[in-house]
A and B are shown apart, each in its own frame.
Chain A
Amino acid sequence: MVLVSSARDYINRMLQDISGMKVLILDSQTVSVVSVVYSQSELLQKEVFLVELVDAISMSKESMSHLKAVYFLRPTSENIQHLKRQLAKPRFGEYNLFFSNMLNTTQLHILADSDEHEVVQQVQEFFADFVANEPYHFSLNTPSNYMYMLPAVIDPPNLQNYCDRIVDGVAAIFLAFKRRPVIRYSRTSDIAKRIAQEASKLMYQQESGLFDFRRTEISPLLLVIDRRDDPVTPLLNQWTYQAMVHELIGIKDNKVDLGNAGKFSKDQQEVVLSSEQDTFFKSNMYENFGDIGMSIKRMVDDFQQVAKSNQNIQTIEDMAKFVDNYPEYRKMQGNVSKHVTLVTEMSKIVEERKLMLVSQTEQELACNGGQGAAFEAVTNLLNNQSVSDIDRLRLVMLYALRYEKESPLQLMQLFNKLASRSPKYKPGLVQFLLKQAGVDRRTGDLYGNRDILNIARNMARGLKGVENVYTQHQPLLFQTMESITKGRLRDVDYPFVGNHFQQGRPQEVVIFIVGGTTYEESRCVALQNGLNSGTRFILGGSSLLNSKRFLKDLEEAQRIARSSTGVV
């Protein structure tokens, strides 16, 4: 059960049986699917000499009959229309159509009807319908990700699209693993329930033949949960390498765009940050910021040594050795400058926004009690001139989530202060967050203060002390995973769909977070899998969040909700 390799296997199989020069045609979604797991040079090795987008390919009329077209598309109606037009006037020698998900009969009919020249060689479904960012973490890059916060009545067709995309993606995951899971969802979330039920209908009724694999002793588990069960994690500042890069600069499909961050040389404006290709990143992506500095220093020292040994070339042997090692050397050089650039940029931001100070309070709010002290700390930071608007907003949100019920008066004071301090703040956003993800709406025990056992555990941790103030927060997912491995996930909170129940502990678990995952959770899953506890976890989400994206979704949802209530 490794996502990256199964996606790669699909693409390999797609390309290897077709001999000769090929052109690979993708749509805007499958581009991400392919590019996170496959590289241009690997494509060239498979004799794919042209990669194009499906809408661009239909613009040009010029014939290229010496190329064979390999289409890899999502089965959307737009793509089918593009194909239809293309097949009416074929440009390429032959057409091999691969779809990333299930085609329905109508679509197949349309395609068959438009293939008058009989150029289509094969039509296949290859279920690589997920962006495998890391071995155990996928995202669906769902457009209009704010949909999950809206009630069902506001925009039914779009919500249906949103759900369909997620159900498709989750189904593809299980098809890729050749498994049929039992499905659970978090009780309080309507959207999680809906997705779980639709997935179950698809897997057990509509396409039960397709999902009829060899039975394993214990079925894997699909757990659909809602982002709003844990709104705290995407609001926190991160201090581990990967998560921090995403929080401060932004990662998209394992790429970091430094273009608007500052002036860099041309080849450093956009860099790749993939644990598959970069060994330094792989071994350091979960380390915290301080340790990263040390590791980078070591890497630079190593590099300097190599560079020095390359400088004194005296004999022919030295020369030969240098030429032999040159590609390696260049790769190393690129890597070093990439990581140095990233870390420099981040420490600049940390300095500018006083993130050390802010983050300490954030972590206090997320992990420890003490309302009075927290109020004071937040008020102080709101008064601090050098704290940026977005950080102020997040602090108030974290405070509101934590002390929602305890003292409404002080909460009101903070709202007013925030409104007066930050001119860009849209009033009511924090209240909207509370309405969406307040204590009554959440499943699970986010702050560990609902039952005696958790309270006791929290106190024990408080006595033991913490290693690092900035990384003491554990996402709710950690607790959820722990209860799954111990077989203690409560049926009341996470009910099963239909009459497919789980006996015993599952060995394979896919946790899907509607609304998006964070890299902090991804790290948590990777560490858990590293323990070899007998249960493997895979984490997936509708998108990959940092605080900026989470707040944007929240704002968008608030805007739409407000405008629609205004109409009604």
Chain B
Amino acid sequence: MATRNRTFLFRRYRDALKSVRVPSGRSAVSDGGAMIEMADASLLKQNRSYAPLSTHDPGTSSVGTPMMGLPPAWVDVSEEIAANIQRARSKMSELSKAHAQALMPSFGDGREDQHRIEALTHEVTDLLKKSERSLRRLSAAGRAEDSTVRKNVQRSLATDLQSLSMELRRKQSMYLKRLQQQKEGSDGVDLEMTLNGMHSRSEDDDFDDFGFNEHQMAKLKKSEAFTMERDREIQQVAESVNELAQIMKDLSVLVIDQGTIVDRIDHNIQNVAASVDEGLKQLQKAERHQKQGGMVMCATVLVIMCFIMLVLLIFKAILF
């Protein structure tokens, strides 16, 4: 893969020509001086960088550099989303650590871990939801000219969001599965023990009265409370799955299917070209319409009127 860098030669030519050229004002300050890469942006990027933009430093700005200006407002929104995604990503790695910890056998009841996991999951889901909302804002605001750019930014962010939410869901479901396996294992033992107990007791029970004794009542209550809690948990999980599914659905409109014609570069360009052409045609048509409509009509009427008046004037002069 050979390449040849001609920048050096180019610079040399350019410098040589600059000294020859008539000094036409200091129109060439823009190189380097006025450009500041946002340094904090590099902190955010993990494997992809979003934010670095050339922003305009007001201190060194000179009137002779027309091409430097503040980026449009949607850039800020996109940066915000990018930052959110980064945050969500770091939270995700925390979450997977917490999952691993919770699955490890420990002597505590694991309630603390449980809480942390819940909180983290909630946070990530929130971040995703927030990003998704601002993503929609991205397309709504701004000028029409750079709509293609905006749409593409939106697409790229949407792809990221989608993969992130997929990952989250995968992690969640894996965690749940593992948890269930663990529970099942211990439940199985439990079940057997209670079964054995029941067996031994059922023989005694034959002689007992049929009403519930106190012990049994307590047990029943406990299991009832347990079921309630389980129910709540399941509800929660289902809710979060639902939320994620909603996000997925919204995003899937934006994300490009890979390997389809939409994913082709030339197809996109041709489409843009075609729609531009179509627009031009419409414009020309409109222009024609306008010409035919107002001005021409008016002028013709006026000219005709002029003639009539002239004729009248002549008649008047002749007759009287």
Tell yes or no: B30 within 8 A of A by CB: yes
Contact with B along A318-356 (1 / 0, CB 8 A): 011001101100110011000000000000000000000
Contact with A along B7-21 (1 / 0, CB 8 A): 101100110110001
In the assembled complex, the CB of B248 is this many whole angstroms from the nearest CB of chain A, namely: 6
Q: Which residues of B contact A38 (CB under 8 A)?
A: 265
Tell yes or no: B318 within 8 A of A by CB: no
**A126 close to B10 (CB less than 8 A):** no
CB closest residue in chain A, given B72: A66
CB closest residue in chain B, given A55: B273
Q: Return the contact of B268 from the options A40, A124, A271 (Cβ within 8 A).
A: A40
Tell yes or no: B93 within 8 A of A by CB: no
**A66 close to B6 (CB less than 8 A):** no
Q: Which residues of B contact A324 (CB under 8 A)?
A: 166, 169-170, 173
**A123 close to B67 (CB less than 8 A):** no
Tell yes or no: B90 within 8 A of A by CB: no
Q: Which residues of A contact B244 (CB under 8 A)?
A: 323
Tell yes or no: B106 within 8 A of A by CB: no
Tell yes or no: B217 within 8 A of A by CB: no
Which of the segments A56-64, A148-156, A161-169, A458-466 contacts the partner chain?
A56-64
Which of the segments B116-124, B152-160, B300-308 contacts the partner chain?
B152-160
Tell yes or no: A527 within 8 A of B by CB: no
**B50 close to A47 (CB less than 8 A):** yes
**B152 close to A49 (CB less than 8 A):** yes
Which of the segments A91-99, A424-432, A439-447, A506-514 contacts the partner chain?
A91-99
**B2 close to A56 (CB less than 8 A):** no
In the assembled complex, the CB of A329 is this many whole angstroms from the nearest CB of chain B, namely: 11
**A92 close to B155 (CB less than 8 A):** no
Contact with B along A105-125 (1 / 0, CB 8 A): 000110111011111111111
Tell yes or no: A51 within 8 A of B by CB: yes
Q: How large is the interface on B (under 10, 10 to 19, 20 to 34, 35 or more residues)?
A: 35 or more
Tell yes or no: B198 within 8 A of A by CB: no
Which of the segments B181-189, B222-230, B256-264, B281-289 contacts the partner chain?
B256-264
Tell yes or no: A20 within 8 A of B by CB: yes
Which of the segments B97-105, B143-151, B207-215, B290-298 contacts the partner chain?
B143-151
CB closest residue in chain B, given A60: B145
Q: Return the contact of B173 from the options A47, A56, A176, A320 (Cβ within 8 A).
A: A320
**A10 close to B258 (CB less than 8 A):** no
In the assembled complex, the CB of B260 is this many whole angstroms from the nearest CB of chain A, namely: 6
Q: Return the contact of B266 from the options A50, A109, A253, A326 (Cβ within 8 A).
A: A253
In the assembled complex, the CB of B305 is this many whole angstroms from the nearest CB of chain A, namely: 43
CB closest residue in chain A, given B31: A118
Q: Which residues of A contact B1 (CB under 8 A)?
A: 6, 9-10, 13, 176, 178
**A316 close to B241 (CB less than 8 A):** yes
**A278 close to B259 (CB less than 8 A):** yes
Q: How large is the interface on A (under 10, 10 to 19, 20 to 34, 35 or more residues)?
A: 35 or more
**A210 close to B2 (CB less than 8 A):** yes
**A21 close to B14 (CB less than 8 A):** no
Tell yes or no: A311 within 8 A of B by CB: no
Tell yes or no: B54 within 8 A of A by CB: yes
Tell yes or no: A67 within 8 A of B by CB: yes
**A49 close to B156 (CB less than 8 A):** yes
**A94 close to B54 (CB less than 8 A):** yes
Q: Return the contact of B13 from the options A112, A270, A274 (Cβ within 8 A).
A: A112
**B17 close to A113 (CB less than 8 A):** yes
In the assembled complex, the CB of B11 is this many whole angstroms from the nearest CB of chain A, namely: 8
Q: Which residues of B contact A68 (CB under 8 A)?
A: 54
CB closest residue in chain B, given A44: B156
Tell yes or no: B142 within 8 A of A by CB: no
Tell yes or no: B3 within 8 A of A by CB: yes
Tell yes or no: A261 within 8 A of B by CB: no
**A39 close to B6 (CB less than 8 A):** no
Q: Which residues of B contact A278 (CB under 8 A)?
A: 259
CB closest residue in chain B, given A316: B238
**B241 close to A66 (CB less than 8 A):** no
Q: Which residues of B contact A335 (CB under 8 A)?
A: 259
Tell yes or no: B66 within 8 A of A by CB: yes
A-B residue pairs in contact (CB < 8 Å), sample of 26? A13-B1, A39-B258, A39-B264, A41-B256, A41-B258, A44-B159, A45-B156, A45-B159, A49-B149, A53-B269, A65-B71, A66-B72, A93-B67, A115-B14, A117-B30, A118-B14, A123-B6, A124-B4, A127-B3, A267-B262, A271-B261, A278-B259, A323-B244, A330-B257, A331-B258, A331-B259
Given contacts A38-B265, A334-B257, 20 further A-B contacts (CB under 8 A): A6-B1, A10-B1, A39-B259, A41-B263, A44-B159, A47-B156, A53-B269, A56-B272, A64-B146, A93-B54, A108-B6, A113-B17, A116-B24, A118-B28, A178-B2, A213-B2, A255-B267, A277-B259, A316-B238, A334-B259
